Structure 1
Amino acid sequence: MSPLDDLRISVSQSGENSEVVILRLDGVIDTLTAPQLDKVMTRLLQQRRYKLVCDLSGIDYVSSAGWGIFISYIKEVRENQGDLKLVKMQPDVAEIFELLEFDTVIKSYDDLNRATYDFDGQPGVRLQPQAEPAAVATVSLLQPPIESIESHATKISLSITKPAEPAPSLEDKILTLVQEDPLLRISEIRGQLKLPRLGEVKVSRLKIFFVLKKNRLLRLRSRCLFARQAGKSF
C-alpha cells in the first residue's frame, strides 16, 4: 500500500470531562483501509466512548465499505446517549455523502468546535425503519385480435411475428432516469423505478449506487454532462 492509499488515524479528546473523542482521519477509506477504522471504532466503544467526531478534512475518498463503517456504529452509539458526527468533508466526499442521502442519518458539520459542542442536549438524527411499499396488483391485459384482410369471399388471417425486443435492464432504466433528470438523488431514482412505466422495480439504494459508480456518474457534474450528451444524440 502506497502512502497515498494509506489511512492515518489520530485520536484526541475534547468537551467537558474530555468525553468527546475526535478522530482525525487522513488518506482514503476504502476496502483495504476500512478494517483499520473499524478496529479503532470497536476499541472506543469497548471503552464506552460514545460521543465521537470524525474529522474528514484529510480524507480524499470514501468507498461504500468506508461509509458502511460509519453507518454500522450509529445505532449502538445512540442507544448509549452518544452520537457519531462527521466534520469538514471535502467537496467530492460530501457530494457522494449527499447523493447516498447519508445526511438523513448522520449529522455533518463544517466546523469542528460546533460539532463538539452540539453534543450538549441535542440528540442526533435517529434511524427510522423504512416501510415496505404496498404490494401492487399487476393486471394482465388480453392482446387485441390480429387484423384480417378480406378479399372477395376469401378471408385470409395474417399473423405477423415480430422479434421480441429485449427488456431494458436495471442499468438501462437507471441511465434513462439520469438522462431525464441528472439532479435526481438515489432515493428519487429508487422511487421512479417503482412506477409502472419502468416495470415497478424494487431495488436497494446500494445497487443504484453501484450502477452509478460503474458508469462514473456519482458526481453531479458527470451526470449533467451525460444527460447533455444523451440529449444531443436524438
Structure 2
Amino acid sequence: MEGIQVTRGRVGARRDIALLRVKGYIDTQTCGDMLHKITEVMNEDLYHIIVDMSQVNYVSSAGWGVFVGEIKGIRENGGDLKIVQMLPEVYEIFEMLEFNRILDCYENIEEAIDDFDYSIGLDITKSISRSFRPSEDNGTSEISPPIKPALRHRESAHGPHKTRAAFFKPPVNEKELPLSEKVKKLVIEDPRQGAWKIKKGLNTERFGYTKVSVFRIIKLLRKLNLDTLEKRFRYYRSR
C-alpha cells in the first residue's frame, strides 16, 4: 500500500469551497494525516468541504471516524462535508456501516459544488424557468404547483349550466411503479439529485422502500439519458 496523499484546492462560484483530493487508503496509520488536512481548512474558516475519494481504495472504520468526528463542528459553523466519487468497494463498506445516515455523498464533484452553491442562494442554472422552494417539513426541494384554470360555466335559458368534471383518474400507487418511473419522478421533483440521493429517495415509504444499488441507478440514468445535471434539468424543463 502507498499510504495517503491529500492535495488541496478551492472550487465553487465564490471559490469558498475547499476541495480535498485523496489518494491511497485511510486507516489507523493514515487517518491522522486526513484529520490534519480537514483541521487545516477549518482553521482558515473554510467550512464547505468536498472530499474527492475517486483514488481511495480502502477506508477503515477509523478512517470513517475522522469524518464523522468532525462533521458536527463543521455543521455548527454553517458548513458541511460532502464525499464524492467513491469506488464501489469503498461505498459498500460506507453503506454497511450506515455512515450514509450521517455523511452526504455524491456521484461527482460538480453535483456537490452545485448543492453548496444552491444552499447559499446562488443561481446554479439561470435557464431554469421554474423555481424551487424549500419544504418546511423535510428540507427537500419541491416544485411550486401550477395554477389550474377555473372551470367556465355555460349559460342557458334555465340558468347557469356547470361543466361536467373531467373523467376521474384514480391516483397512481407510486409503490408499484417500475423503477425507471420512480427515478423519473424524483428527477422531475429535483433535477439536482444525483444517483446517491435518488437511491435515498427510493428507499422511503413513498416508493415502498425500494432498495437498489447506486451503480444500478447510475446505469439506469444513462439508459434514460439523465446521467448528467444538464440532461436532468433539460428533462425537468420539458415536463
Larger Rg: 1
> If the length of structure 1 is used for normalisation, what is the TM-score?
0.50
> If the length of structure 2 is used for normalisation, what is the TM-score?
0.49
